[in-house]
Amino acid sequence: MNRSPCRLSLDAAALVDNWRRLAAMSGAAACGAAVKADGYGLGAREVVRRLADAGCRDFFVATWAEARALVDTGVSISVLHGVRADDMALARLRNARPVLNTARQIQRWRDAGGGLCDVMVDTGMNRLGVSPADIADGLLEGLRIDTLMSHLASGDEDSPLNEQQRARVVALAGTTEAQRMSLANSAGIALGADYRFDLVRPGIALYGGVPRAELAGMRQVATPEAQVLQRRRVAAGESVGYNATWTAQTDTEVAILNLGYADGYWCGFSGKGAARAGATRLPVLGRVSMDLIAVDCGAADVAEGDWLALDYALPEASAISGMSQYELLTGLGARFDRIWR
Ligand SMILES: *Cc1c(COP(=O)(O)O)cnc(C)c1O
């Protein structure tokens, strides 16, 4: 097998610990998992397998192609973007059901014979979902609904919108045939027991994201590692990388690593990110240069062919790169070998 010169080291125990912590915080509410975007870039199949073993029963993807890729795992999958006409051929997948978002989607589902579904209601985000007024007018009558859900716009902030959205969900209780109600994403879980209803739907925090201070200490799951392709000495006065943004003040030992934009190592890490050789920090020098980065390896014993891990704890990596924690995960590229440990 030809191994890639970059790999994602994935910590299975950290993933499961994060889910268990969120499940414990959620009390009596069931704790699901958002695994859209290929498990936020980590690999949805591997995430699902491990969380299902830990006891997770409700999984959420965005599209039917994502559902199809998971269907043989046997878990229950909700497809958040609902059913377009183009989806109907797939929409009868075993164990998968749509989250219906619009009157047209609901009609399409009814015309195809109905069956168990979820419904998204918009309570103030104005993204996807039917309105509470349409529900009051009978839009959902006769539908077999597992979960009536809504989504928080600002759960990661102390916004008055949170309480407003929560109150609108409470007002829907008992007005439909839905077996369960659900509102909280990762951040919502930390807003308190009133936000948890019957089912919570964390995503980012499972993967080590920290959307609110209360969730500090979620364990890092994904660590990019890259192989050294060349080691060189850069003489004082010489520059490194595209646009020569870094110039050596003294003779400097530099390692060139196989990592760059296509892997999700963004320009924002230029001059700010770092690799590690053991505990020794090796700062990124100059620009990320397309598929390659340079690090100062003078403090470590680094040779061509060695592997170095990159600093990628999400709150810190987000702060230095200017990318959101969501972008940092979902941008992790296809060139990585994804290795679960
Ligand atoms: C993505 C998503 C989630 C998970 O959100 P996080 O902020 O990643 O925890 C939950 N519910 C819905 C509807 C989503 O789209």
Residue identified by tokens 């943004």 is 245
Over residues 227-231, mean pLDDT: 98
Q: What is the pLDDT of residue 220?
A: 98
Set 36, 40, 207, 265: catalytic member = 36
Whether residue 20 is contained in a domain is answered as no
* 195 and 260 housed in the same domain: no
As a whole number, the mean pLDDT across the chain is 97
Among 163, 179, 209, identify where a domain stops: 209
Q: Give residue 118 CA to ligand 1 midpoint distance, Å.
A: 15
Q: Give residue 202 CA to ligand 1 midpoint distance, Å.
A: 6
| One-letter amino acid of 300 | A
Q: Give residue 219 CA to ligand 1 midpoint distance, Å.
A: 18
| Whether the Cβ atoms of residue 234 and residue 240 lie closer than 8 Å to each other | yes
Whether residue 6 is contained in a domain is answered as no
Split at pLDDT 50, 70, 90, the class of 139 is very high
Note the maximum CA span of the chain. 76
Q: What is the pLDDT of residue 92?
A: 85
Ligand 1 atom at minimum distance from 80 CA: 13
Over residues 46-57, mean pLDDT: 98
102-138 residues labelled b (16+ CB within 10 A) or e (exposed): beebbebbeeeeeeebbbbbbbbeeebbbebebbeee
Whether residue 229 is contained in a domain is answered as yes
Q: Residue 137 belongs to what domain range? A: 32-209
pLDDT at 1 over 80: no
Among 209, 242, 266, identify where a domain stops: 209
Q: What is the pLDDT of residue 93?
A: 86
pLDDT digits (tens, 9 = 90+) for 93-136: 889 999 999 999 999 999 999 999 999 999 999 999 999 999 99
The answer to the question of whether 341 is labelled as a binding residue is: no
Ramachandran angles phi, psi of 64, nearest 5°: -70, -30
- The residue contributing the CA closest to ligand 1 atom 13 is 151
CATH of residue 170: 3.20.20.10
Whether residue 98 is contained in a domain is answered as yes
Note the pTM of the prediction, 2 decimals. Answer: 0.97
* 260 and 161 housed in the same domain: no
* 172 and 269 housed in the same domain: no
172-208 residues labelled b (16+ CB within 10 A) or e (exposed): beeebebebbbbbbbbbbbbeeebbbbbbbbbbbbbb
Residues 6+ apart with CB under 8 A from 89: none
* 203 and 282 housed in the same domain: no
Over residues 227-247, mean pLDDT: 98
Ligand 1 pocket, residue 204 CB under 6 Å: yes
| Whether the Cβ atoms of residue 10 and residue 339 lie closer than 8 Å to each other | yes
pLDDT at 78 over 90: yes
Nearest alpha carbon to residue 288 among 310, 317, 267: 267
* 131 and 105 housed in the same domain: yes
Ligand 1 pocket, residue 203 CB under 6 Å: yes
Tokens of 17: 């610990």
Split at pLDDT 50, 70, 90, the class of 87 is very high
* 52 and 182 housed in the same domain: yes
CA distances from 195 to 132, 163, 181, 282, 312 (A): 18, 9, 10, 43, 30
Beta strand pairing call for 280-289 and 292-296: antiparallel
* 179 and 273 housed in the same domain: no
* 323 and 276 housed in the same domain: yes
Over residues 18-47, mean pLDDT: 98
The answer to the question of whether 127 is labelled as a binding residue is: yes
* 228 and 192 housed in the same domain: no
| Whether the Cβ atoms of residue 231 and residue 302 lie closer than 8 Å to each other | yes
Over residues 290-296, mean pLDDT: 98
36 carries an active-site annotation: yes
CATH of residue 321: 2.40.37.10
Whether residue 22 is contained in a domain is answered as no
* 154 and 240 housed in the same domain: no
Q: What is the pLDDT of residue 199?
A: 98
Over residues 197-208, mean pLDDT: 98
* 278 and 160 housed in the same domain: no
Over residues 210-231, mean pLDDT: 98
Q: How many domains in the chain?
A: 2
* 163 and 197 housed in the same domain: yes
Among 154, 187, 209, identify where a domain stops: 209
Q: What is the pLDDT of residue 23?
A: 98
195 carries an active-site annotation: no
